């Protein structure tokens, strides 16, 4: 399909474990494009995207792999020249995408959320990082624990935080798009503020 001055937008049904072509397009080797992807199915894992450049020009010959977060999140990718974009998920789900044959940059403002955990110490699932915001800062009124887990519930990181800030590099940590963030309070009615940003 020629992508001269055109826009595509549609939803794709992904079957568990099956690699599905999302779009295939042909354009000049110096023509740039952008695509935005969203996960539409709640409660499932992240989605892998595969970008295969076709031909030479400024593109590569090989596959570039991306991961987008779980519902209701996603991300954008850019490229140059002809390519095929495919997607694969571990569970049946729906993927939306928007494609335009020009490159643009997206500057997203921080997404800030404040939680009050009213219970005795207990893990609360915060979820996957929001669209395009993988830096995370957590501030709190007292000690707290965090953990990052896979969609299958496998523990990847478990950290006890003494004090009111959690940071591993300056004042933030990287929240991977395929991991859920969980926070455990140390006292009832504890206020926890979480900021995700670019």
What digits encode the pLDDT tens for the residues 94-132? 999 998 887 666 677 788 899 898 888 989 999 988 888
Does residue 1 belong to any structural domain of this protein? no
Are residues 158 and 121 located together in one domain of the fold? yes
CATH of the domain at 34: 2.60.120.380
The structural domain count of the chain equals 2
Last residue of a domain, one of 100, 131, 147: 100
Confidence band, pLDDT 50/70/90 cuts, at residue 6: low
pLDDT of 165 reads 58
- pTM here is 0.68
What digits encode the pLDDT tens for the residues 122-176? 899 999 888 888 999 988 878 889 999 988 889 999 988 876 555 544 568 899 9
CATH of the domain at 116: 2.60.120.10
Residue 167: which domain range?
111-197
Dig out the tokens for 31 from the structure. 């023509």
Are residues 32 and 80 located together in one domain of the fold? yes
């Amino acid at each position: 399909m020629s992508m001269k001055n055109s826009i595509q937008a549609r939803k794709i049904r992904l079957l568990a474990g099956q690699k599905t072509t999302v779009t295939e397009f042909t354009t000049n080797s110096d023509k740039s494009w952008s695509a935005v992807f969203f996960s539409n199915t709640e409660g499932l894992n992240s989605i892998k995207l595969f970008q295969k450049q076709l031909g030479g020009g400024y593109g590569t010959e090989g596959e570039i792999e991306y991961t987008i977060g779980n519902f209701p999140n996603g991300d954008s990718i850019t490229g140059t020249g002809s390519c095929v974009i495919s997607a694969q998920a571990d569970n049946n789900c729906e993927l939306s995408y928007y494609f335009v044959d020009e490159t643009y940059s997206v500057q997203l403002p921080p997404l800030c959320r404040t939680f009050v955990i009213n219970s005795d110490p207990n893990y609360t699932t915060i979820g996957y990082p929001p669209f395009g915001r993988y830096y995370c800062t957590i501030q709190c009124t007292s000690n707290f624990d965090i953990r990052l887990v896979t969609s299958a519930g496998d523990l990847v990181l478990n950290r006890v935080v003494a004090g009111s800030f959690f940071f591993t590099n300056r004042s933030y940590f990287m929240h991977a798009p395929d991991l859920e963030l969980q926070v455990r309070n140390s006292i009832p009615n504890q206020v926890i503020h979480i900021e995700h940003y670019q």
